[in-house]
Chains A and B, each alone.
Chain A
Amino acid sequence: MSGEEEENAAELKIGDEFLKAKCLMNCEVSLILEHKYEQLRQMSEDPLNQVSQVFEKSLQYVKRFSRYKNPDAVRQVREILSRYHLTEFELCVLGNLCPETVEEAIAMVPSMKTKGRGLDEEAIEKMLNDLSLIKTFE
């Protein structure tokens, strides 16, 4: 198959459906799944029995890899990142991985550089700084 159609997240080739879809960061997913788990727990005595393994594993994963625990912080993160011209996908990758340096950020989300959307180094640096601020104040 020719490489043109091949999906490649680094170039944001992930299919229309997903490009337009709402992307969720690990911390956000964590909130959602926890909430659901609570609901189940209230309804029946053995919630673990009722949920699929996919759910369980996902819950464990997002709990472990969430950078921000506080729902407010999560909201702020999203807000900050939305100020820049980023796609949902890129936004979430940054939110999940929280790069520290500009170089790292570009390595994580190569599409930022190529798109020519006014995301120069300065802007990226500022973005990262803001993110780290939230972390410290969480």
Chain B
Amino acid sequence: MARRRDEEDDDIEQEEDYYEDREVLDDEEEEDLEEEEEEEEEDRRGGKKRRRSQFIDDVAEEDDDEEDDDDEDYGRRGRRKQKSKRRSASDYFDIEAVVDSDGEEEEEEGEEDFIDNANDLPDEDDNRQIHRRPLLPREEEDVDDLERRIQERYRKSVHIDYDEETTDVDQQALLPSVRDPKLWMVKCAIGHEREAAVCLMQKCIDRGPELQIRSVIALDHLKNFIYVEADKEAHVREACKGLRSIYNSQKVMLVPINEMTDVLSVESKAIDISRDTWVRMKTGTYKGDLAKVVEVDNVKQRVTVKLIPRIDLQAIANKLENRETPKKKSFVPPPRFLNVDEARELNIRVERRRDPMTGDYFETIDNMKFKDGFLYKIVSMKSISSHNIKPTFDEMEKFRQPSENGDGDLGGLSTLFANRKKGHFMKGDAVIVVKGDLKNLKGWVEKVEEENVYIRPEMKDLPRTLAVNQKELCKYFEPGNHVKVVSGTQEGATGMVVKVEQHVLVILSDTTKEHIRVFADDVVESSEVTSGINKIGDYELHDLVFLDDTNFGVIIRVETEAFQVLKGVPDRPEVITVRLREIKSKIDRKFSAQDKWKNMISVKDVVRVLDGPCQGKTGPVEHIFKGVVFIFDRHHREHAGFICAKAFSCVVIGGSRANNDRHGDSRSRLANFRQSNIPPSPRKHSRGGPLNYGGRHGGGRGHNDPFINTRVRITQGPFKGYCGRVKEIKGTSARVELESQMREVQVDRSKLSEIVVSTPHRESRYGVGSETPMHPSRTPLHPFMTPMRDPGATPIHDGMRTPMRDRAWLPMSPPRDDYEDGNPASWGTSPHYQPGSPPSRTYEAPTPGSGWASTPSGSYSEAGTPRDVSSAYVNAPSPYLPSTPGQPMTPGAASYLPGTPGGQPMTPGTGGLDAMSPVIGVDGEGPWYMPDILVNVVRPGDESATGVIRDVLPDGTCRVALGPTGNGEMITVLPSEIEMVVPGKSDKVRIMGGSLRGQNGKLMGVDANDCIVRLEENLDIKILDLGILAKLP
């Protein structure tokens, strides 16, 4: 501006002042922010009799300069001068016209284009300007002036060039002030804004200086209004008179000064919408749909796009036949290619028309044009979004289907890529050039800069590194590469490339073994294999889950979106891939099952498969459900080591329940047992007993011969509490004919106790120690642990004595070593027990009460420690802990410890054993009796009578009211003299053990040893072991 001032000194002195006032800064420093200002100056000057040529020159030059400046300036300016060429200086115009008809065009176009795409114009303008420049004669200037001007111009422009960053202050200085022409907002016909602006411009050209408006702006995004720059409103109205599209009566609004800049701010870079670009519809029935641009009409701002039609032929047919159509359905018909024949069938009139412009034939239905099944629709540019369109594969496939082969789309793909945000290239990536002269050149990335990527090409003859534009490169992969997807829908997946199709890769997912299609941009080469997640949602690796009502299985592998589940179909391993949502629920219930020899299998027991394809495999049981066990065999290569087998075809290793002892002995020397602990808490034991299952038996007992045919009571295991007669003795186990049920069961010798009247104490309750820590009941004293000990310990149990002895032996025998855990007693269901596992030691504590409790805490891990744990509980017999390693177990022992996962025997419950709650229901009949249950009183000499317990005294005796309803006389009996009545179907029952102890319910059904009970209080259905249920009168 300064320049101009200088030049126009004579004419423009006042202006100079004006300008000086206005502009604090040195004009030379910067180009005006707003052309407006320049324009004003120019125009102002022009208003007077400027030296037109000079002015023109200036203007032209100015423009040149401005245009020469980098685009940034233009961009900022946005509005291209809408110079209203009011200067009628015909010279000027003529010159311009003559010299360069482009000029006017330029202006016009400039007007339009600039308004739209500020960026593009400058280039065009530049070119044009450059053309223009040499053609403009400078007649009226003298040489000196010319020289000076040129110098200044170039100096300024150079200066300007350097001074790229216009600071805020500079910018502020260019803002309009009160003395600048104002901006008026004029209402015009909607859709005709551009037309109005062009008309005004034309008017200016025709009228010249009469028209006192400076410029006109028509914005794309602002409908119904145009802006006119003028000093006075009257000028605006005057100018708009006679224009069809501007309603003269409309008011003209003044734009406040501080909002003037907003009018011209350009918000976002618009991407050229050109043919074959992928766009998405923003509104209407096709909202969100992918579309391909077929034709672009910039003037009318409309494009013709190709879409997959969503039409309801039926509705159209109805309409055409004037049938009643149901109210316009709110649902959007799904996208489907149009089949002309279908339409014809419905009697819809299909015309074949020829589009005059493109020459193609279209089928027209209801005014919609179709071709090849696609719908061709003309929409306004506003209703499509072309920015960052990422079509999914499905969509692209659909577009490809009907007619095109891949080629047609390749073009589409390239533009797609050009418009997408590209992934970053990293050093070492293999890339291939996809555009330009070097197309199909492969190379590796050496360095990445902003836009340019330096690659090392594969071919020898080329220079070592080449700079290539990022847009022309694409990552390159070969089949066999292992990759990881880093963006897009499949993010996180890893796999191997199977096929490469230009930009698209087909990858075989590591986890789901399915094919994934991804863009090459979205992957990087990596050797990482996704499998790190162990858990999705609620489900973890190795969980037992319900797939639907009948199917269940164990999760053997967790992948990004799916799980691999080994179905619970024994004998025929079946692995299926399921998604998270297909899993119904986790199976939490603990179940127990019986093995071939009717031993109870509980989780963590080691079993061997006897039948079926996995015959011979051994391993600890991870899950049990409905008679099917899932065994985890480390050596088994398939299915992550899981084997599914029928419980019936396995055998618990270690034998029957007798194992319990084994463990006990070795490990826990329960010596403590001796201590009294046990007896006192008879009630508490929480079942103790059962654990032993684990079967590992060890001991072989031989004695018991005298026991044959004696009446015994089973003190542990699922049949705890049952009375029977010993029929046969085999080693450590005995076959007992139960009195209450018509069958014979195999029981570990240690679990039997002779029924001697005087044994009040319990039998087994406490701990048997060895087995599962929990039980201290067994014989509390049992020193399971001490192999040798035993006998002493049993003070309390009488019956147990013998067993104990035997138990003592249980040497933990080396065989156990084989198992990783050794679990000795795992109680059937108790999940953790590791019966036998050295940890058991912890039990030691016979603490009757603790029963289980003890275990857990114990850190078993070391075999030795057990004791501490127990202390926690009760009696902490502590002594027990025999040094585990040493323990009886013998060499094997050491191995156990580590093995048993904490399993503490039973500990699950720990804590409190809540006295009765042996949890898993292992045999019911707990020694703990509760009032109000129906029992059978068996006194030696008497016949059994039924009665209802009224009271349970602290020392274990109970007061029983005889009679089925408890109405008879009251007697006091010892626990050993009473046994619970086994409830039948539809009986009211009370739960005697487990966490639900004490609750009442109704027995809905019996399934082997499992009973289905509906609880009274909350109507929950629970499945419990028969043993823990007692009948209510």
Contacts and interface: CB of A to CB of B under 8 A. Distances in A.
User: Do the two shown chains form a genuine complex with each other?
Assistant: yes
A14 to B, nearest CB: 15
Contacts of B428: 1-2
A46 interface: yes
A129 B638 CA distance: 42
B635 A48 contact: no
B636 A48 contact: no
Contacts of B636: 53
B635 A52 contact: yes
Interface string A1-38: 11100000000000000000000000000000000000
Given A52-B637, A53-B635, A54-B637, A1 B525 contact: yes
Nearest to B480: A6
Given A46-B616, A48-B616, A49-B616, A2 B444 contact: yes
Contacts of A46: 616
Nearest to A8: B480
Contacts of A1: 428, 525
A108 to B, nearest CB: 18
B188 interface: no
Nearest to A54: B637
B430 interface: yes
A54 B636 CA distance: 9
Contacts of B637: 52-54
A55 to B, nearest CB: 10
A50 B869 CA distance: 38
Contacts of A54: 637
Nearest to B458: A3
A114 to B, nearest CB: 17
A2 B476 CA distance: 11
A2 B637 CA distance: 34
A2 B458 CA distance: 10
Interface in B421-449: 428, 430, 444
Contacts of B444: 2
A48 B609 CA distance: 14
Contacts of B525: 1
Contact of B430 (A3, A48, A49, A53): A3
Interface in A25-78: 46, 48-49, 52-54
A48 B617 CA distance: 10
Nearest to A57: B637
Interface residues of A, number: 9
Contacts of B617: 49
Interface string B462-486: 0000000000000000100000000
A48 B636 CA distance: 12
A49 B478 CA distance: 42
Interface in B922-966: none
A27 to B, nearest CB: 25
B: contact size bracket: 10 to 19
A3 B617 CA distance: 44
Nearest to B616: A49
Nearest to B527: A1
Interface in B304-351: none
Contact of A2 (B430, B616, B638): B430
A2 B635 CA distance: 37
Interface string A94-133: 0000000000000000000000000000000000000000
Nearest to B525: A1
Nearest to B456: A2
Contacts of A48: 616
Contacts of A53: 635-638
Contacts of A2: 428, 430, 444
Interface string B612-633: 0000110000000000000000
B292 to A, nearest CB: 36
Interface in B230-284: none
Contacts of A3: 430, 478
Interface string B518-544: 000000010000000000000000000
A26 B636 CA distance: 24
B942 to A, nearest CB: 55
Interface string B589-620: 00000000000000000000000000011000
A3 B444 CA distance: 10
A52 B616 CA distance: 12
A74 B876 CA distance: 70
Interface in B970-1006: none
A76 to B, nearest CB: 35
A122 B1032 CA distance: 96
Nearest to B635: A52
B443 to A, nearest CB: 10
Interface in B611-669: 616-617, 635-638
Contacts of B478: 3
Contacts of A49: 616-617
A80 B478 CA distance: 37
A126 B617 CA distance: 51
Of A1, A48, A49, the most chain B CB neighbours within 10 A belong to A1
A49 B430 CA distance: 48
A31 B439 CA distance: 54
A53 B478 CA distance: 33
Contacts of B616: 46, 48-49
B642 to A, nearest CB: 13
Nearest to B526: A1
B503 to A, nearest CB: 20
Contacts of B430: 2-3
B585 to A, nearest CB: 33
Nearest to A4: B444
A12 to B, nearest CB: 17
A102 B430 CA distance: 35
Nearest to B482: A1
A37 to B, nearest CB: 15
Nearest to B637: A53
A53 B636 CA distance: 7
B271 to A, nearest CB: 35
A54 B635 CA distance: 9
A6 to B, nearest CB: 8
Nearest to B444: A2
A60 to B, nearest CB: 13
Nearest to B617: A49
A1 B497 CA distance: 14
Nearest to B608: A49
A2 B478 CA distance: 11
A53 B633 CA distance: 11
A101 B635 CA distance: 43
Nearest to B481: A1
B340 to A, nearest CB: 50
A13 B923 CA distance: 65
A52 B636 CA distance: 8
A48 B635 CA distance: 12
A34 B525 CA distance: 42
B420 to A, nearest CB: 25
Most chain A beta carbons < 10 A, residue from B428, B637, B638: B637
A10 B637 CA distance: 30
Nearest to B442: A3
B657 to A, nearest CB: 25
A48 B616 CA distance: 8
A52 B641 CA distance: 12
Nearest to B618: A49
Nearest to B636: A53
Contacts of B638: 53
17 contacts: A1-B428, A1-B525, A2-B428, A2-B430, A2-B444, A3-B430, A3-B478, A46-B616, A48-B616, A49-B616, A49-B617, A52-B635, A52-B637, A53-B635, A53-B637, A53-B638, A54-B637
Given A2-B430, A3-B430, 15 more contacts: A1-B428, A1-B525, A2-B428, A2-B444, A3-B478, A46-B616, A48-B616, A49-B616, A49-B617, A52-B635, A52-B637, A53-B636, A53-B637, A53-B638, A54-B637
The 10 closest A-B pairs by CB, nearest first: A53-B637, A49-B616, A2-B444, A52-B635, A1-B525, A46-B616, A48-B616, A53-B636, A54-B637, A2-B428
